């Protein structure tokens, strides 16, 4: 499983990324919709998206996962005692949750780090409750200028 570079890791922990997540990414990706119920974020990193999500949707219970121990530790420090939040190390291709556990599964800019991204999407679908929502986006391809 590819790990983030030191530069990516530092950027994902930065205040600049946090503001961008809060002001641009989360509102755009949710399309104005507030989340409720049990929500799982895959590849949550340092918790920048989670901070924006918790502020935006007070009725949800959020579970953050990441495979990178450093990111999990950072997220746990960010949210030491939140009753609405759980942080857990997990591989997105083999999630440690029962089928139909979550109302919503989120994936923000993380699937490009997963070699077997199809398995991660299948796992997200497995843990979704019937009628649940999978919300996500990623960088899929780009071309360089000629």
- Domains along the sequence of the chain with CATH: 6-26+34-137 (3.40.50.150)
Contact yes or no for 127/95 (Cβ under 8 A): yes
Pick from 22, 72, 90: nearest CA to 52: 22
Q: What is the CA radius of gyration of the chain?
A: 15
Q: How far apart, in whole angstroms, are the C-alpha atoms of residue 84 and residue 55?
A: 11
Bigger pLDDT: 77 vs 33: 77
pTM above 0.85, yes or no: no
How do residues 52-91 score in pLDDT, each as one tens digit? 888 888 889 999 999 988 889 989 998 888 889 999 999 9
pLDDT of residue 72: 92
According to the model, what pLDDT value does residue 123 have? Answer: 94
């Amino acid at each position: 499983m590819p790990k983030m570079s030191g530069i990516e890791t530092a950027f994902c922990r930065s205040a600049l990324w946090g503001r961008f997540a809060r002001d641009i990414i989360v509102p755009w990706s949710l399309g104005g919709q507030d989340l409720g119920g049990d929500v799982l974020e895959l590849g949550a990193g340092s918790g920048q998206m989670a901070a924006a999500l918790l502020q935006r949707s007070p009725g949800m219970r959020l579970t953050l996962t990441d495979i990178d121990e450093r990111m999990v530790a950072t997220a746990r420090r960010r949210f030491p005692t939140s009753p609405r939040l759980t942080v857990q190390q997990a591989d997105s291709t083999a999630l440690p949750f029962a089928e139909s556990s979550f109302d919503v599964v989120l994936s923000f800019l993380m699937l490009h780090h997963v070699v077997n991204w199809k398995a991660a999407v299948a796992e997200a679908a497995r843990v979704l409750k019937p009628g649940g929502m999978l919300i996500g986006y990623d960088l899929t391809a780009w071309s360089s200028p000629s």
